């Protein structure tokens, strides 16, 4: 292990020298899911940085420490070294783990630590030795956004040259060619007006080492899009998700655009999800494949699905963790609100893709999550729910291969739906989280901190404020 670490460290240092890096940027993630960073001169890049780390104030990071216990350490992971493709000055970028300088232990509320513990727990069960993850992040590229909220004003205003609402705009040239609501999947340019900026983003992603296999316009008008990434292991894919978001935002801004991963920024059009493909492997064999099984999945995969469906109300506290998430998870917008599984059927919360009959390609797709999540926590939580299903042999029931939206009232009544608000999923997590504590992957402290933070800073904060539409409904009362 030590030799591997030294080799990775030497490779990171060699990369910095080869590319003429003048600085090293240390990145880590806060509890809600935003990357944080600070930058050191390249002279600080040495073995000591990787072994002993570099100190920072943990009390200033959301969800971390109190002021009387603020000192913390960043330990860079040399395997994550890349040259930042968005910066003008050559800078080595390193993703870091967080460590307690007093105990010398990895910090229990560091989301990346949770992801690594989940991978270790998987191996300890003997069920599998590797999990593979393939998230599909949808997002919007707008031309501008304005928003304000104070005691007497509250509004947002989004604009996109591609937005269908600009069809009648008489200011400047107006050449038409805009995707109508729900018709953005996927016309060629000139209707697809953001092909050029997507290509620039894709090039920078590939420069950073992301394995991009496609990019395309998504269903909504006004610049909804998606990039496909080849699957990877849990922690590594969570790293890739953060890099995907970072590069998208920065390249867009440098070219006069703005990117948002909000699940539902537009009213009356499709929201943005993060469908997550996942599978378990052991000794190089896909444990989710069975040539005789329904949709070619194994009994293990069915139990895994049972765990996801059973724990979904609690899971969504990590997988769809914002008030805005529940503007997306509503009927009528291709949203996966039905807690059932099916082959091909996109109205189910779990879909089994049938693109290929190859054993290597067999996986399940959990469609409830969105890109507002912290990927380290979301992936770890999904894995723990699936493993709980395998351990307890949770039967997911029969698949539903019909269009759920076309079912009769009696059949529909038997199908459970996802909760309708952030408060509901946080309350579900309070009642149902023992499966997350197995192997000390999650801790009670982290779960309590998450629930309290989300309730106070997000759910309560939104619920207390007047909504602009309330003036339309009630001002003349």
- Residue 348 CA to residue 339 CA, distance in Å, equals 7
- Residue 435's Cβ-side half-sphere holds a number of Cα atoms within 13 Å equal to 26
Task: Catalytic residue, from 84, 365, 370, 388: name it.
Answer: 365
346 has catalytic annotation: yes
Whether residue 468 is preceded by a cis peptide bond, meaning omega within 30 degrees of 0, is: no
Task: Catalytic residue, from 138, 162, 269, 290: name it.
Answer: 138
Measured N-to-C along each axis, helices 234-254 and 375-391 cross at an angle, to the nearest 10 degrees, of 150
275 has catalytic annotation: yes
Task: Catalytic residue, from 236, 328, 351, 367: name it.
Answer: 367
69 has catalytic annotation: no
Q: Assign 3-class secondary structure to 119-176.
A: HHHHHHHCCCCEEEEEEEEEEEEECEEEEEECCCCEEEEEECCCCHHHHHCCCCCCCC
18 has catalytic annotation: no
Task: Catalytic residue, from 218, 232, 239, 388: name it.
Answer: 218
Task: Catalytic residue, from 57, 105, 434, 470: name it.
Answer: 57
Residue 283's contacts (CB-CB under 8 Å, 6 or more residues apart) are 129
Task: Catalytic residue, from 275, 311, 328, 433: name it.
Answer: 275
- Residue 453 CA to residue 256 CA, distance in Å, equals 34
367 has catalytic annotation: yes
Task: Catalytic residue, from 30, 77, 97, 226: name it.
Answer: 226
DSSP assignment letter at 191:
T
- Widest pairwise Cα distance in the chain: 73
433 has catalytic annotation: no
- Residue 471's Cβ-side half-sphere holds a number of Cα atoms within 13 Å equal to 8
The residue whose two tokens read 């600085």 is 23
Task: Catalytic residue, from 195, 215, 327, 346: name it.
Answer: 346
Residues with a known catalytic role: 57, 136, 138, 218, 226, 275, 346, 365, 367
């Amino acid at each position: 292990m030590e030799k591997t670490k030294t080799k990775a460290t030497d490779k990171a240092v060699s990369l910095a020298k080869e590319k003429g890096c003048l600085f090293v940027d240390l990145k880590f993630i806060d509890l809600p899911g935003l990357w944080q960073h600070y930058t050191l001169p390249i002279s600080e890049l040495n073995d000591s940085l990787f072994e002993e780390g570099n100190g920072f104030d943990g009390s200033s990071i959301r969800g971390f420490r109190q002021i009387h216990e603020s000192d913390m350490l960043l330990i860079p992971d040399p395997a994550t070294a890349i040259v930042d493709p968005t910066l003008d000055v050559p800078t080595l970028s390193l993703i870091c783990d967080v460590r307690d300088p007093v105990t010398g232990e990895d910090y229990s509320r560091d989301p990346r630590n949770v992801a690594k513990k989940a991978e270790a727990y998987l191996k300890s069960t003997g069920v599998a030795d590797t999990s593979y993850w393939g998230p599909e992040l949808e997002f919007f590229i707008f031309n501008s956004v304005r928003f304000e909220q104070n005691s007497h004003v509250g509004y947002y205003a989004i604009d996109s040259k591609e937005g269908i609402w600009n069809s009648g705009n008489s200011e400047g040239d107006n050449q038409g060619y805009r995707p109508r609501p729900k018709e953005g999947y996927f016309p060629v340019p000139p209707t697809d007006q953001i092909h050029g900026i997507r290509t620039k983003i894709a090039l920078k992603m590939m420069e950073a080492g992301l394995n991009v296999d496609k990019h395309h316009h998504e269903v909504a008008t006004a610049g909804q899009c998606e990039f496909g990434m080849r699957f990877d292991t849990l922690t590594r894919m969570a790293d890739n998700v953060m890099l995907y978001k970072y590069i998208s935002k920065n390249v867009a801004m440098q070219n006069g655009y703005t990117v948002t991963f909000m699940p539902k920024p537009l009213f009356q059009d499709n929201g943005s999800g993060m469908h997550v493909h996942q599978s378990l492997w052991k000794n190089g064999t896909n444990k989710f494949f069975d040539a005789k099984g329904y949709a070619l999945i194994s009994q293990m995969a069915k139990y895994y699905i049972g765990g996801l469906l059973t724990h979904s109300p609690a899971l969504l506290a990590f997988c769809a963790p914002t008030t805005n998430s529940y503007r997306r998870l509503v009927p009528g917008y291709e949203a996966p609100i039905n807690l059932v599984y099916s082959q091909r059927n996109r109205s189910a919360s779990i879909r089994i893709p049938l693109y290929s009959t190859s054993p290597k390609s067999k996986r399940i797709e959990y469609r409830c999550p969105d890109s507002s999540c912290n990927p380290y926590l979301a992936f770890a939580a999904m894995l723990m729910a699936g493993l709980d299903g395998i351990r307890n042999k949770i039967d997911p029931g029969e698949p539903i291969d019909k269009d759920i939206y076309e079912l009769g009232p009696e059949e529909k009544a038997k199908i459970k739906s996802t909760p309708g608000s952030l408060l509901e999923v946080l309350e579900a997590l309070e009642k149902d989280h023992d499966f997350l504590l197995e192997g000390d992957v999650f801790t009670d402290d982290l779960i309590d901190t998450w629930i309290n933070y989300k309730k106070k800073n997000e759910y309560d904060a939104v619920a207390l404020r007047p909504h602009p539409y309330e003036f339309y409904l009630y001002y003349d009362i």
